[in-house]
Amino acid sequence: MKRELPVAGRQRAFSGIQPSGELHIGNYLGAVRNWVKMQDDYDLFICVVDLHAIIQPYDPSEMPELVFDMALTLMAAGIDPERATLFVQSDIPQHSELSWIFTTVTPIGDLERMTQYKEKSARLASVPAGLLAYPILQAADILLYLATVVPVGADQSQHVELTREIVRKWNARYGDYFPEPQALIGQAKRVLGLDGQAKMSKSLGNTIGLLESPEEIWEKLRPAYTDPARKTRKDPGNPFICNIFSLHQEFSSDEDIAWAQEGCQTAGIGCIDCKRRLGDNMIEELRPIRGRADELKANPERVQEALRQGADRCLGIAEQTMAEVKRRMGLDHVRSPSEAKVDAD
Cα separation, 134 vs 111, whole angstroms:
9
Indicate the residue among 31 and 211 with the shorter CB distance to ligand TRP. 31
Q: Does 138 bind ligand TRP (CB under 6 A)?
A: yes
- 152 touches ligand TRP by CB under 6 A: yes
CB 153, CB 186: distance < 8 Å: yes
Partner whose binding site includes residue 200, from ligand AMP, ligand TRP, none (CB under 5 to 8 Å by kind): ligand AMP
State yes or no: is 189 an active-site residue: no
Scanning 26-34, 60-68, 89-97, 238-246 for contacts with ligand AMP by CB under 6 A, the matching segment is: 26-34
Residue 89 per-residue DSSP state: G
Choose the contact partner of 190 out of ligand AMP, ligand TRP, none; CB within 5 to 8 A by kind: ligand AMP
**3-class SS of residue 241:** helix
Nearer to ligand TRP, 142 or 167 (CB): 142
Answer whether 303's CB lies under 8 Å from 311's CB: no
What minimum distance in Å lies between the beta carbon of 224 and ligand TRP? 24
Nearest CA-CA partner of 147 in 132, 163, 159: 163
Among 18, 138, 281, 321, binds ligand AMP (CB under 6 A): 18
Alpha carbons 21 and 58: distance in angstroms, whole number: 12
Which residue from 80, 87, 111 is spatially nearest to 17, judged by alpha carbons?
Answer: 87
Q: Hey, which residues between 167 and 196 contact ligand AMP (CB under 6 A)?
A: 188, 190-191
b/e code 168-177 from CB counts within 10 Å (16+ = b): ebbbeebeee
| Separation CA 280–CA 236 (nearest Å) | 23
Residue 44 in the binding site for ligand AMP (CB under 6 A): no
User: In Å, what is the CA distance from 120 to each residue of 203, 335, 340?
Assistant: 11, 42, 45
Cβ proximity of 281 and 25 under 8 Å: no
Which of 12, 13, 27, 166 binds ligand AMP (CB under 6 A)? It is 27
**CB-nearer residue toward ligand TRP: 159 or 164:** 159
Stretch that binds ligand AMP, among 13-21, 88-96, 248-256, 272-280 (CB under 6 A): 13-21
Asked if 30 touches ligand AMP (CB under 6 A), the answer is yes
Region near ligand AMP per CB under 6 A, out of 17-25, 232-240, 297-305, 327-335 = 17-25
Candidates 18, 243, 252, 321; binder of ligand TRP (CB under 6 A) is: 18
Q: Which of residues 22-61 bind ligand TRP (CB under 6 A)?
A: 49, 52
- Helix/strand/coil for 44: strand
| Strand locations in the chain (E) | 12-17, 43-48, 85-88, 149-152, 182-185
Say if CB 111 and CB 133 are below 8 A apart: yes
Q: How far is the CB of 152 from ligand TRP (least distance, A)?
A: 5
Q: Respond yes or no: is residue 231 known to be catalytic.
A: no
| Residues recognised as catalytic | 120, 199, 202
State the residues that interact with ligand TRP by CB under 6 A: 14-18, 49, 52, 138, 141-142, 150, 152, 156, 159
